[in-house]
Amino acid sequence: MCEQTARAWTELSRAALRHNAALLRGLLPAGCELMPALKADAYGHGAAAVAGELAKMGVRAFCVATAREGAALRESGVRGVILVLGYTGEQDLPLLMRHDLTQTVVDLDCARLLADRGEPVRVHIAVDTGMHRLGVGPGELEQLCALLRRAPLRVEGVFTHLCAADGTGLRERAYTRAQAAAFWETVQTLRAAGCAAPKAHLLNSAGLLGYPEFGGDYARVGIALYGTLSTREELSRCGLELRAALSLRARVSSVRLLRRGECAGYGMDFAAPRDTVLASLAIGYADGLPRALSGGVGGVLLHGCRAPIVGRVCMDQTLVDVTDIGGAHAGDTATLIGEDGGQSIHVCDVAAQVGTIANEILSRLGPRLGRVVQ
């Protein structure tokens, strides 16, 4: 088993995932279903395992960022709607029909490209209501409808993305409400133009938590489903009992004694201020552990105690000071995210240490990691 032999691995708690899914379902507006975001390997949690568990709970629609992610999910046996939220290049377009994926119409050019193929690809129309990233603008709806009328595309949905729903300021709140108003107006316009889409959706995690009254047929929840929000502050503010679904662990590969004054790691950054016991962990920045945790910024748990990261995080390895932790041995398990012996390191804390959000830390957990599902 992975646990015995892997150098570094993630552990997915199915119980936590189910708990979060049930909690979020309880917040859904009437008639709205979960459409979990499984992009970036389910934010580092392992998309196939997450989809499998959610499917058991009756979840029938998912979204991903790319056609290849969608194809991989199909290959692992996922059924139901798989919406590709992002751009699909010409090279990957055949995947859409082959795997029965639903493609987002990200702009007019994309609509043209899809229309010209003459295939009955399922699509959802993205509407730009203010994020200005992807989507068809309000002034382009007529052109879009004209395109759709001459193509065999199956228009099954229309959606927009809220870009400030996590903000608490008046400005963000007003902007978010304006986005929702613009969206529902666009839905009406499309309907009036004979381009009605059966499904409409706009809620992401922050949207569902803050604005369930916006409604819609799907809530595209990502981060909350995994049991966290982007920051510790947001997480405490939401007041929900979300449970972190992922732990990140690594093997202690070697333990050694340094005399006071000896240094360790690249660039001789660490000089032992006292006789020091150092443990090497078999995980590095190539696995998604941020290099910015170097030099004592970050820490790990070993035998239920905190050990600071010392020196520079390497590509495949990391040094921690275990002087104050008795009996560290090669083969021990260190916890980089998660609980150990009553102590815990939350992904939001790691994110704060390196100046980013939990989403980035999670989604960068790399393919080299083992995956344990519990």
Ligand X SMILES: *Cc1c(COP(=O)(O)O)cnc(C)c1O
What's the rounded Cα separation, in Å, for the pair 370 and 359?
A: 20
- Nearer Cβ to ligand X (85/144): 85
- Nearer Cβ to ligand X (89/342): 89
Minimum gap (Å) between residue 279 Cβ and ligand X: 34
Structure tokens of 133?
Answer: 């990233």
Confirm whether residue 133 is marked as ligand binding: yes
Q: Find the residue with minimal CB distance to ligand X.
A: 222
Minimum gap (Å) between residue 367 Cβ and ligand X: 19
Minimum gap (Å) between residue 61 Cβ and ligand X: 12
What's the rounded Cα separation, in Å, for the pair 38 and 50?
A: 8
What's the rounded Cα separation, in Å, for the pair 293 and 353?
A: 7
Q: What share of the chain is helix, strand, coil (3-state, %, to 5)?
A: 35, 25, 40
Confirm whether residue 57 is marked as ligand binding: no
- Nearer Cβ to ligand X (277/350): 350
Give a three-class secondary structure readout of 240-251.
Answer: CCCCCCEEEEEE
Token pair 């082959």 is at which residue? 98
Q: Rounded to 5 degrees, what are φ and ψ at 122?
A: -75, 135
Q: Is 285 a catalytic residue?
A: no
Grouping H, G, I as helix, E, B as strand and the rest as coil, residue 172 is: helix
Q: Is 39 a catalytic residue?
A: yes
Minimum gap (Å) between residue 104 Cβ and ligand X: 8
- Nearer Cβ to ligand X (202/309): 202
Q: Rounded to 5 degrees, what are φ and ψ at 254?
A: -165, 145
CA nearest to 54, candidates 84, 85, 81, 27: 81
Site residues, ligand X (CB under 6 A): 37, 39, 85, 161, 204-206, 220-224
Active-site annotation holder among 43, 199, 266, 285: 266
- Nearer Cβ to ligand X (220/312): 220
* DSSP letter, residue 206: H
Q: Are 130 and 98 in contact (CB under 8 A)?
A: no
Minimum gap (Å) between residue 121 Cβ and ligand X: 19
List binding-site positions: 133, 315
Catalytic residue list: 39, 266
List binding-site positions for substrate: 133, 315
